[in-house]
């Protein structure tokens, strides 16, 4: 269970950068090669490479090598899993862990 948290923390970290969010958005439309992504962002090529590594390492994005080019695409499964996880930890129900406590601030 702690593993699950750490896995999803990695995904949230990958999404904690404006450039990477924009990359994710671009890839939602279609597979793109790095050079096309680079055109849209005001960063250098090594910085983009670094961001793509972070996105791929957590499986949010898939890379496909094709000759000189690397084509990137969104991994829909990872997106779905993250949405599910976030839904799970935020759904409101009433299983309050402290409802039947006898002392503390909820007497």
Where do contacts with DNA occur on this chain (CB under 7 A)? Answer: 13, 16-17, 19, 33-35, 38, 42-47, 49-54, 63, 67-70, 104-105
Interacting residue with a second copy among 45, 53, 69, 84 (CB under 8 A): 69
Q: Which stretch binds a second copy (CB under 8 A): 18-26, 41-49, 50-58?
A: 18-26
Coil/strand/helix, residue 81: helix
How far is it, in rounded angstroms, from Cα 60 to Cα 100? Answer: 41
Tokens of 43: 């960063």
55 binds, options DNA, a second copy, none, Cβ within 5 to 8 A by partner type? none
For the chain, what's the residue count? 107
Tell me if 15 contacts a second copy by CB under 8 A: yes
Cβ closest to DNA, residue 46 vs residue 100: 46
Q: Where are the beta strands (DSSP E) in 15-99?
A: 32-33, 61-66, 69-74
């Amino acid at each position: 269970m702690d593993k699950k948290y750490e896995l999803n923390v990695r995904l949230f970290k990958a999404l904690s950068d404006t450039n990477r969010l924009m990359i994710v958005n671009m890839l939602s439309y279609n597979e793109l090669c790095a050079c096309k992504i680079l055109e849209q962002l005001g960063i250098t090529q090594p910085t983009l490479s670094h961001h793509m590594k972070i996105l791929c390492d957590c499986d949010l994005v898939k890379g496909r090598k094709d000759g000189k080019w690397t084509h990137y695409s969104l991994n829909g499964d990872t997106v779905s899993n993250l949405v599910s996880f976030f839904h799970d930890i935020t759904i409101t129900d009433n299983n309050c862990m402290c409802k039947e406590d006898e002392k503390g601030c909820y007497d």
